[in-house]
Amino acid sequence: MADQKSKKGFLGRFMDILSGRPSTESEPIEKDPQVIEFPSDESDPTDLGFVRKFTASGGKFLYCEDESEAYQYLSSIMQESGLGKVYCIDENLNSILRKAQIDVDLEDWQNSDAFCTSCEYLVSFNGGIMISANQLHGKKLEDLPETLITIGRTSQITDNLRSALAGIRMRYKNNLPSQITTIKGPKKVENLEENDQGKICNKEIYLLLLEDQL
């Protein structure tokens, strides 16, 4: 049990650094995050590899050890970005948004300032967020608000597109969702095969990654 807790703390502190959050540990890894020597991309664990690629593409990443941290981050995003109303029809996410005291709209997506959604998977290979019709509900991504807030879980991080698609087939079996796509920020990530880069999304993309509660 002690080893499990230590491993989580180690991951959490690296996630903090990559998301720009100061360490709250009594013995921080390093005072200046800029001089920390991270492993090379080739040896990155799957989760850290995802964060690197996602932020390199222009996505904004925030790591949350629990939902209470998500409330604080969501409130900060709304205030700092000058956002008012959020369009979201996911009941579980609406609970989180309302606890963060955010004005949620279940219908008027055209006049909302942001769109909040879950995801299918988070793909480490290209740093993309995999979504489907289950998140878009028949709407086109380009027609939704210019700010996209995705709330995902650490258990949704997977190595590559093949494993993500296999997971979708297993989860939905004979009722596969349509509109399956992988999105990322507006910046092109180098050294990736063209067909694996994912769809460039010209929106401001926030990802709140919540630690699964075991």
Q: What domains appear along the chain, each with residue ranges and CATH number? A: 45-210 (3.40.50.10420)
pLDDT at position 186 = 76
For the stretch 141-177, pLDDT in tens is: 889 999 999 999 999 999 999 999 999 999 998 899 9
pLDDT at position 185 = 80
The model's pTM? 0.79
Q: How far apart are CA 28 and CA 4, in angstroms?
A: 19
Residue 75 reports pLDDT greater than 90: yes
pLDDT at position 45 = 81
For the stretch 175-194, pLDDT in tens is: 999 999 999 887 765 554 44
pLDDT at position 201 = 73
CA atoms within 13 A on the CB side of 183: 26
Ranges assigned E (strand) in 40-195: 60-64, 85-87, 103-105, 114-117, 121-123, 128-131, 147-153, 157-158, 181-184
